[in-house]
Amino acid sequence: AVIKPLHRTRFHFQPRRHWINDPNGPMYFNGIYHLFYQYNPKGAIWGNIVWAHSVSRDLVNWKALKHAIYPSKPFDINGCWSGSATVLPGNKPVILYTGVDPQNRQVQNYAIPANLSDPYLTDWIKPDDNPIVDPDSGVNASAFRDPTTAWLSNSGHWKTIIGSKRRKRGVAYLYRSKDFVKWTKAKHPLHSAPNTGMWECPDFFPVPLSGKQGLDVSVTGNWVKHVLKVSLDVTRYEYYTVGKYYHERDRYVPDNTSVDGWSGLRYDYGNFYASKTFYDPAKKRRVLWGWANESDSAVDDISKGWAGIQAIPRTVWLDPNRKQLLQWPVEELNGLRGKQVKMSHQKLYKEQHVEVKGITAAQADVEVTFSFSSLDKAEPFDPSWVDAQAVCGKLGSKVQGGVGPFGLLTLASENLQEFTPVFFRIFKAHHNHVVLLCSDATSSSLKKDGLYKPSFAGFVDIDLSSKKLPLRTLIDHSVVESFGGGGKTCITSRVYPTKAVFGDAHLYVFNNGSEAITVDYLSAWSMRSATIN
């Protein structure tokens, strides 16, 4: 008999087997989306890293091609690590990536398509003048990696940044080139920040001050802001700032509403790392890819034979408040929506949960708007609560509140022995209200050993004057990926239910606060499986 793999995702990107990590070199070229990714062709743990390669016409269904870049030359013999694609004038893609050389130094290389008229760009050449950037004596050769998509300045110079650290200071070194082959390090880094450690996978791009449109990375002007994102290897989270790029000086300065480091903004407050955006000229949008690692053990991964997925690609743009980004699953995902069920004007009193019936709750897309008539009952907010995850750990979905907790119980078993709640809780602070979004894996699985079950959470900087809070959650067997407040705060959890699987998984709306909540409107869809690799 064929055993259906319990936790394998059906519409998230993953290879057929083995380990994957960072998305690499995403790009659009002649009608086709390319996604490369860090991949171990030999097993379900990290190692033997190559650039695997898939192509798509819709960012949803993918076809696997042969590995694009793999160790074969001295400049990458010990590893082909992360990097980015740039499409040069004349529609010529180039990849910049980090190679690990025989001395285990991290060097930067380039690769070009062997045949530009091959629509899939299947074969890649690594020219003999590699590496194009060596770590100089001032940089730590084991912390010097992950070149970004390059941008072109008015002076005709290409620029890229490379992640690094100087002692505990995270650094984005800037390099310039006239011809994309000979690169010179700028005297000053583009940006750096104390006590953040190694900056992996930097990403740097412009966003217009208003509107949802994305921009090519080379666009500048007083009508754009720039975003710098870095991934911190020690703590395994990412943060970004919104700021200004002074292109004559090649310096980036975060706005005073944006901070570097631990308390900074995150694309995702859950399991999401080594992310990277690209500009899609076909739909004039900027699209974000990020890796969602497993939260089970290496032993589990080896026995299931795979580890790692990519989160659903998201369109990103600047919030009208100009302080943060907004994110939403790419519109193409809606093409997988099948059977739809609806709920409206559903009151939820304290301790009540109501089932959303009639869809495949283990593989679903849910959009809901909750409303409340008053904030009078909101619990007091303790100003020392700066760590959202700690607050959610203390005030879980079972801890009764005032306004909230309310939200969804996803991947729930019939008697709620297992469930992953995604919920809001509203607090009253001195001058304002504070909204918390939690995606809590604590009760997600009855499995005792080897699971990481954090109570991920983030604050939602949202205006409550309409007395409404929207939430969208994508559920895909071992993934619960949520977009709170219209994409203001996103959280991805990886969970491994033992009972709430396939047809035994349920979905509920719930409230556990003394203030009654109304489900104004809910739409949930069974999701079809995508064709992936």
Give me the active site residues, please: 22
- Least Å from the CB of residue 280 to ligand DQQ: 23
Q: How many CB atoms lie within 10 A of CB 117?
A: 7
Nearer to ligand DQQ, 200 or 280 (CB): 200
User: Tokens 């974000």 identify what position?
Assistant: 288
Would you give the distance in Å from CA 420 to the centre of its chain? 20
> How far apart are the C-alpha atoms of 51 and 71, rounded to whole Å?
9
User: Tokens 């010529």 identify what position?
Assistant: 92
Query: By C-alpha distance, which of 510, 474, 469 is closest to 488?
Result: 469
Give me the amino acid identity at 175.
Y
> How far apart are the C-alpha atoms of 341 and 358, rounded to whole Å?
7
User: If you ran DSSP here, which 8-state letter would residue 312 be given?
Assistant: P
Give me the residue whose beta carbon is nearest to ligand DQQ. Answer: 81
CB 301 within 8 A of CB 40: no
Nearer to ligand DQQ, 98 or 295 (CB): 98
Residues with Cβ within 8 Å of 515's Cβ and at least 6 positions away in sequence, in order, are 372, 373, 374, 375, 376, 377, 378, 402, 403
- Least Å from the CB of residue 310 to ligand DQQ: 13
Give me the half-sphere count of Cα atoms (radius 13 Å) on the Cβ side of residue 497. 31
Task: Provide DSSP, 485-522.
Answer: TTTTEEEEEE---SSS-GGG-EEEEEE-BSS-EEEEEE
Residues that bind ligand DQQ in the complex, under the rule CB under 6 A = 21-22, 38, 49, 81-82, 98, 145-146, 200-201, 273-274
- Least Å from the CB of residue 82 to ligand DQQ: 4
Q: How far is CA 28 from CA 85, 277, 280, 416, in A?
A: 10, 12, 6, 44
Nearer to ligand DQQ, 103 or 257 (CB): 103
Nearer to ligand DQQ, 164 or 443 (CB): 164
- Least Å from the CB of residue 21 to ligand DQQ: 5
Nearer to ligand DQQ, 160 or 455 (CB): 160
Nearer to ligand DQQ, 62 or 81 (CB): 81
> How far apart are the C-alpha atoms of 477 and 495, rounded to whole Å?
8
CB 471 within 8 A of CB 410: no
> How far apart are the C-alpha atoms of 155 and 134, rounded to whole Å?
24
Beta bridge partners of 70: none
- Least Å from the CB of residue 124 to ligand DQQ: 17
Nearer to ligand DQQ, 146 or 268 (CB): 146
For 247-331, where are the E strands, in sequence order?
Answer: 251-254, 273-280, 285-292, 306-307, 309-310, 314-318, 325-329
Nearer to ligand DQQ, 198 or 500 (CB): 198
φ and ψ at 376, to 5 degrees?
A: -55, -35
- Least Å from the CB of residue 236 to ligand DQQ: 9
CB 292 within 8 A of CB 309: yes
Give me the amino acid identity at 276.
K
Nearer to ligand DQQ, 33 or 36 (CB): 36
Phi-psi category of residue 495: left, alpha or beta, with phi > 0 → left and psi -120 to 50 → alpha = beta
Q: How far is CA 130 from CA 53, 134, 144, in A?
A: 21, 9, 16
- Least Å from the CB of residue 356 to ligand DQQ: 36
- Least Å from the CB of residue 447 to ligand DQQ: 26
- Least Å from the CB of residue 311 to ligand DQQ: 14
Report the Cα–Cα distance between both ends of the chain, in Å, rounded.
23
Nearer to ligand DQQ, 45 or 464 (CB): 45
- Least Å from the CB of residue 11 to ligand DQQ: 23
